[in-house]
Structure 1
Amino acid sequence: MELTLTTPGLLFPALSLLLLAYTNRFLSLASLIRGLKDRYATTHSHLVYGQIQNLRTRLVLIRNMQAFGIASLFGCVLCMFVLFAGYNTIGKYVFGFSLILLMISLGLALREIQISVNALTLELNDLEGAEEQQK
């Protein structure tokens, strides 16, 4: 397989958009945590505390998603530098490693989405339980 400078360069737009999406998830999560912290301070609800714990896990996952995504982007840049220097075999290994880092980042993103959906399901179940108690 022939690996040229343009091959790792093709990942730049995708990685940039991916990191932007991760950052947006982080910012919305930070806002949600601040709101839940205020809500917990006034209600001391067990459900709110559980949501805060869930958000802590998601926050760690998002941090790791970003770290692996950035490492993947760094690997692509390093790959381009190595290819530019004329070391094609090393460039292939560096590019392969950056793809592995990207896959790890995407796997963490999938896990974070699963946790998010579970949290929303708990919230909906709580809402439905409250509606049934009012009837």
Structure 2
Amino acid sequence: MELTLGTPSLLFPAVSLLLLAYTNRFLALASLIRDLQAQYSTTPRQSLAAQIDNLRRRVRLIQSMQATGVGSLLLCVASMFVLFGGLAEVAGWLFGASLVLMMLSLALSVREIWISVTALNIQLADMESGR
């Protein structure tokens, strides 16, 4: 397969949209953490402590998702730069590494989604026990 400048450039919109989605998730999480902190300081409950622990793990995952997404974009740009310099084989390896980082970022995203579902289940259980 021949790698042209157009091939790595196809990754730009996908990575940009992923990073935007990750940033939105991060901002929503930051708001939720601030709300939970206010609740916990007035009425500490075990369910809030579990939520806070859950949020801490999710923040770390989002940080990793963003880092691998940015790494993917950087390697993609590097592959284009190297390809422009005439080193097609090196560019192919860089582009391949870029795709691997994107897959890792997506896998981390799936893990974060699973953890967020756990958080929702904690919230639902707390609501049910308060009946």
Q: Provide the TM-score with structure 2 as the length reference.
A: 0.98
> CA-atom RMSD, angstroms?
0.7
What SS does the aligned partner of 2:130 have? helix
- What are the Cα deviations for residues 70-122 of structure 1, in whole angstroms up to 9, with x where unaligned? 00000100000000000000000000000000011000000000000111012
Task: Confirm whether residue 103 of structure 1 aligns to residue 99 of structure 2.
Answer: no
- Residue 57 of structure 1: aligned partner: 57
Q: 2: distance between equivalents of 1:124 and 1:48?
A: 12
Letter of the 1:76 partner, please give it: C
Map 1:82-93; keep pairs closer than 5 Å.
82-93=82-93
Equivalent residue, structure 2, for 1:34: 34
Task: Quote the sequence identity (%).
Answer: 58
Structure 2 unpaired stretches of 5+ = none
Q: Aligned partners of 2:13 and 2:102: how far apart in 1?
A: 13
- Distance (whole Å) between structure 1 residues aligned to residue 82 and residue 5 of structure 2: 9
What whole-Å deviation, never above 9, does each CA across 1:36-85 have from its counterpart, x for those lacking one? 00100000111111101110000000000000000000010000000000
SS in 2 for 1:86: coil
Q: Match for 2:42: what amino acid? A: T
Which AA in structure 2 matches 1:87? L
Query: 1:10: which partner in 2?
Result: 10
Q: Secondary structure at the match of 1:3?
A: coil
The amino acid that maps onto 2:72 is S
Q: Quick one: distance in 1 between partners of 2:8 and 2:65?
A: 20
Structure 1 residue 129: deviation in Å?
Answer: 2.3
What is the rounded CA distance, in whole Å, between the counterparts of 1:19 and 1:40 in structure 2?
31
Q: Corresponding residue for 1:66?
A: 66
Q: TM-score, normalised by structure 1?
A: 0.95
Q: Residue 2 of structure 1 aligns to a residue in which SS?
A: coil
Q: Which residue of 2 aligns with 1:20?
A: 20
